[in-house]
C-alpha cells in the first residue's frame, strides 16, 4: 500500500556552514546551497555515483518541529524554517537557530534517489543517543 504525505518532508540543497554546533549551525550559513550540476543535464537515468552525489548534497528533513511537533514552514525572505506554534527557527540545513526546540530538525536517514530520478524516503529518523524517547510526529 502506498501513502502520500504532502508537505510532510522538506527538501533543500545543503548550504555550507561556518561551524557545526551541538544543536545545529546556529544560522551561520557562509554560502549558497550546493545543487549538483548533473541536474542541469538530466532528470533520470542517474548512475550510482551521480545518485550518491545528489544525496550527499540533499537535506531530507521532517516538517515536524523538534519542540512539540508542529509543522514548520519555510520563510524564503528570512531563509529560515519557522515553527508557527512557539517560534522555533531552523536554517536551510535543518540546524537549530533559535527558540524552544532542543535540537535541529529531524533528518530522514533512509532516503535515496533512484535511477528513475525519483526520491524515495522510508520513515526512519536520526534519533540521538539519550533522546530515543523523543520521536517526531508524523503530520
Q: Distance between CA atoms of 117 and 129, rounded to whole angstroms?
A: 33
Whether the model clears a pTM of 0.85, i.e. scores above it, the answer is: no
Are 72 and 81 in contact by the 8 Å Cβ rule? The answer is yes
Q: What is the pLDDT of residue 126?
A: 56
CB-side exposure of 46: number of CA atoms within 13 Å? 24
Q: What is the pLDDT of residue 83?
A: 93
Are 86 and 99 in contact by the 8 Å Cβ rule? The answer is yes
Neighbours of 96 (CB within 10 A): 22
DSSP helix/strand/coil, 56? helix
In Å, what is the CA distance from 89 to each residue of 28, 32, 77, 97, 131? 13, 19, 13, 5, 20
Q: What is the pLDDT along the chain (139 residues), one digit of tens a residue?
A: 344 555 578 888 888 876 655 555 555 666 678 888 888 888 888 888 988 898 888 889 988 898 888 899 998 888 889 998 998 999 888 988 888 988 888 888 788 888 888 888 877 655 555 555 555 544 4
DSSP helix/strand/coil, 17? strand
Q: Which residues contact 56 (CB under 8 A, 6 or more apart)?
A: none
Are 18 and 97 in contact by the 8 Å Cβ rule? The answer is no
In CATH, the architecture of 9-125 is: 3-layer Sandwich (2.102)
Domain boundaries, the chain: 9-125
Q: What is the pLDDT of residue 88?
A: 92
Amino acid at each position: 500500500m502506498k501513502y502520500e504525505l504532502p508537505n510532510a518532508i522538506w527538501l533543500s540543497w545543503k548550504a555550507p556552514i561556518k561551524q557545526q554546533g551541538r544543536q545545529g549551525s546556529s544560522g551561520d550559513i557562509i554560502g549558497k546551497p550546493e545543487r549538483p550540476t548533473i541536474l542541469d543535464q538530466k532528470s533520470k537515468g542517474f548512475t550510482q555515483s551521480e545518485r550518491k552525489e545528489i544525496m550527499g548534497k540533499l537535506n531530507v528533513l521532517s516538517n515536524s518541529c523538534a519542540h512539540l511537533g508542529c509543522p514548520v514552514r519555510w520563510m524564503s525572505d528570512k531563509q529560515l524554517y519557522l515553527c508557527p506554534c512557539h517560534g522555533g527557527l531552523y536554517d536551510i540545513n535543518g540546524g537549530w537557530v533559535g527558540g524552544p526546540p532542543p535540537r535541529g530538525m529531524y533528518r530522514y536517514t533512509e532516503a535515496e534517489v533512484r535511477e528513475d530520478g525519483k526520491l524515495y524516503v522510508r520513515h526512519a529518523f536520526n534519533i540521538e543517543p539519550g533522546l530515543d524517547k523523543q520521536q517526531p510526529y508524523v503530520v
